[in-house]
Amino acid sequence: MIICHKYRFIFLKTSKTAGSSIEMALSKFCGPEDIVTPLSKEEDLQRVEAGGVAPQNYGEMPFRYKPSQIWKVISRSKPPCRYYDHIPARKVRRRIGVDVWNSYYKFCVARNPWDRVISQYYWRQRNAEKMMSIDEFLESSHIRSLVRKGMGIYTIGGKVVVDKICRYENLVDDLETVRQHLSLPEPILLPKAKSTHRQDKRHYSEVFTREQNEKIRSIFKAEIELLNYEY
């Protein structure tokens, strides 16, 4: 997640939508007062080497610590975060304030749910000794996470609260539209991040059964209807 005061934008990060690559690219436009949440150590190093800004200004102020957070600091030496990777819009709005929220350009990325599910299926099990079946995966917490970190990121009470939803399927052109709107000085060039090492390269339509297709359609019904996605 990035809040850039310099160019007055907020990037909300959904999952399995090239979000880390976009954050790495956008951090090049951030100044010292902007909020940039951490990625992996390798990705943070990569974006700094590419001229981007390292994670900054995302931590919670000590005077705001809750008792449970104080315990985590003591037991784990891990300060709590006020802003974090897949933080939803409702929390960002509350923490940044309504005035900033309303006056900044807000955007995110959405992806065809069937494609997103198959991507998550392989990513989550990249180091597993034995992969669960797709049917097992569709009953797991990973699917609830996809919903929460998808439409749950850019809506509040079921209502879209961002100015633009970029399409993963049209990402280069949509990011260029964002760049022009924000008057960013150079193109948003995406590095490669989080390669899945996926062996099965088949299109999702060749992988899912009819029953699995319909189950995904049901789970992501609201987003499919909102963005007119098709199988």
Per-residue pLDDT of 40-94, as tens digits, reads: 999 999 999 999 999 999 987 655 556 555 555 555 556 678 899 999 999 999 9
Averaged pLDDT of the chain? 90
CA of 225: how far to CAs of 90, 113, 219, 229, in Å? 22, 11, 12, 7
Strand ranges inside the chain, DSSP E: 2-4, 9-11, 35-36, 105-110, 155-156, 159-160, 164-167
Section 10-16 average pLDDT: 97
> pLDDT band at residue 194, thresholds of 50, 70 and 90?
low
* Structural contact between residues 54 and 32, judged by C-beta atoms closer than 8 angstroms: no
Class of residue 227 by CB neighbours under 10 A (exposed 0-12, middle 13-18, buried 19+): middle
Q: Is the pLDDT of residue 36 over 70?
A: yes
- Residue 21 has a CB neighbour count (10 Å cut-off) of 21
Q: Which residue has the higher pLDDT, 201 or 188?
A: 188
Give the pLDDT score at 127.
76
Helix-helix angle 113-124:210-219, to 10 degrees:
100
Note the pTM of the prediction, 2 decimals. Answer: 0.90
* Structural contact between residues 87 and 190, judged by C-beta atoms closer than 8 angstroms: no
Architecture of domain 2-227 in CATH? 3-Layer(aba) Sandwich (3.40)
Domain ranges of the chain: 2-227
The tokens for 218 are 């049901």
Angle subtended at Cα 89 by Cα 104 and Cα 142, rounded to the nearest 5 degrees: 140
Quote the CA–CA distance of 48 and 30 in Å, as a whole number. Answer: 12
Per-residue pLDDT of 109-157, as tens digits, reads: 999 999 999 999 998 888 777 889 999 999 999 999 999 999 999 999 9
Q: Tally DSSP H helices, then E strands, for the chain.
A: 12, 7
Buried b (16+ CB within 10 A) or exposed e, 98-132: eeebeebbbbbbbbbbbbbbbbbbebbeeeeeeee
At residue 185, what is the residue type?
P
